[in-house]
C-alpha cells in the first residue's frame, strides 16, 4: 500500500530565544509533516516540544503524554530530535548513536582546541496506514569542512572527522535498510552535495535550486526511499531554512 509522507528537517539555531524557536517549530508543524528532524535542539527546549506532543528521552519514559500531536524523542547528549505524528505512527524504539568522540580540533576558535562529540538519533515507528516499519535518523555533522564545493585542504583533522561521521550515518542507514525498514535520514550535514547510498537526496535533480544556508548551499536534506515528489523551503528566525519534502512510498 502506497501513501504520501511529508518529512521535515530544521536546524533551529541554539542561540534563538524561546519565542523565536517556538515560532520556527510551529511554522514547520503548520504544514503537518508526518516525520520531523530537528538540530541544535537541546534539552532546555523540551518544554517547547511538550506544547506540540509528548517527549521522551532516548531509551527513557515518555513524558507529558498527550492523545494527539507528535511523539518526540530528545537525547540528553547530542542536539538531534526526531518526531512522528501520533495519529499515524506508533512508537517502537529510539536510541542515540555516537558518530564521533571528543578530539583535538584544527578549526580556529574552538574552546581549548577541542571538537565536541557528535551523535545521531534514531527513531523507529510502525506506520498505521501502510503497515510498514519506519526508521527516522536525525544527524548534525561537524561544520566548517567545505570550501568552494570540496573538502578543505587546511583542516585535515576536521575533514577526517566529518568523513568518519558520514560513514557512521551510512552504517546506520545500512542497518535499518537491512532490517527491511522504510528509512529516512534527515539533518544538517554541513556539506553541500552529501549523498547516502541506498537513499535518495531531496536535492537529487535540484542542484541548481536555492540552498538552505545562504543562496546556494543545500546542506539541510531529507534522504529517503526514492526521489522526492516536492521540496519546499520554509523561512524562520534561524540561519538555516527548514526543508519540507514529500515522498510517496
User: How many whole angstroms separate alpha carbon 230 and alpha carbon 14?
Assistant: 28
The secondary element (H helix, E strand) that includes residue 92 is: strand 89-100
Question: How wide is the angle at C-alpha 5 spanned by C-alphas 163 and 231, nearest 5°?
Answer: 60
User: How many whole angstroms separate alpha carbon 160 and alpha carbon 25?
Assistant: 33
The predicted model gives 12-26 an average pLDDT of 97
Q: Which one, of 32, 80, 83, 45, lies nearest residue 62 by Cα?
A: 83
With a CB cutoff of 8 Å and minimum separation 6, the contacts of 19 are none
Instruction: Kindly tell me if the per-residue pLDDT of 58 is higher than 90.
Output: no
For position 1, what pLDDT does the model report?
61
Q: Tens of pLDDT along 98-148?
A: 999 998 888 887 877 789 999 999 999 999 999 999 999 999 999 999 998
Q: What is the pTM of this model?
A: 0.96
Percentage of the chain modeled with pLDDT above 70: 96
Domain count across the chain: 1
Cell digits of residue 57:
528521552
For position 112, what pLDDT does the model report?
78
User: How many whole angstroms separate alpha carbon 208 and alpha carbon 206?
Assistant: 5
Across all residues in the chain, what is the average pLDDT?
A: 94
Domain that holds residue 155: 4-248
For position 60, what pLDDT does the model report?
56
Instruction: Report whether 132 contacts 111 (CB < 8 A).
Output: no
Instruction: Report whether 21 contacts 38 (CB < 8 A).
Output: no
Q: Tens of pLDDT along 183-223?
A: 999 999 999 999 999 999 999 999 999 999 999 999 999 99
Q: Tens of pLDDT along 223-247?
A: 999 999 999 999 999 999 999 999 9
Find cell 564545493 and name the residue. Answer: 149
Q: What is the CATH number of the domain that holds 238?
A: 3.60.10.10
Amino acid at each position: 500500500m502506497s501513501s504520501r509522507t511529508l518529512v521535515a528537517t530544521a536546524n533551529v539555531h541554539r542561540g534563538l530565544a524561546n519565542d523565536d524557536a517556538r515560532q520556527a517549530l510551529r511554522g514547520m508543524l503548520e504544514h503537518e509533516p508526518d516525520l520531523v528532524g530537528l538540530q541544535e535542539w537541546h534539552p532546555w527546549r523540551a518544554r517547547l516540544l511538550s506544547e506540540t506532543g509528548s517527549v521522551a528521552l532516548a531509551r527513557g519514559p515518555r513524558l507529558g503524554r498527550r492523545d494527539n500531536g507528535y511523539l518526540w524523542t530528545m537525547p540528553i547528549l547530542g542536539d538531534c530530535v526526531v518526531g512522528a505524528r501520533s495519529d499515524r505512527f506508533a512508537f517502537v524504539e529510539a536510541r542515540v548513536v555516537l558518530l564521533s568522540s571528543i578530539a583535538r580540533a584544527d578549526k580556529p576558535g574552538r574552546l581549548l582546541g577541542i571538537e565536541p562529540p557528535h551523535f545521531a538519533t534514531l527513531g523507529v515507528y510502525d506506520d498505521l496506514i501502510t503497515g510498514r516499519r519506519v526508521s527516522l535518523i536525525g544527524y548534525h555533522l561537524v561544520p566548517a569542512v567545505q570550501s568552494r564545493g570540496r573538502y578543505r585542504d587546511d583542516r585535515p583533522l576536521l575533514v577526517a572527522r566529518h568523513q568518519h561521521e558520514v560513514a557512521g550515518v551510512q552504517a546506520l542507514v545500512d542497518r535499518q535498510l537491512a532490517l527491511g525498514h522504510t528509512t529516512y535520514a534527515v539533518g544538517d550535514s554541513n556539506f553541500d552535495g552529501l549523498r547516502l547510498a541506498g537513499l535518495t537526496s531531496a536535492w537529487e535533480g535540484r542542484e541548481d535550486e536555492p540552498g538552505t544556508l545562504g543562496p546556494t548551499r543545500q546542506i539541510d536534506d531529507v534522504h529517503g526511499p526514492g526521489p522526492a515528489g516536492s521540496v519546499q523551503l520554509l523561512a524562520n528566525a534561524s540561519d538555516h531554512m527548514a526543508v519540507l519534502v514529500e515522498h510517496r512510498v
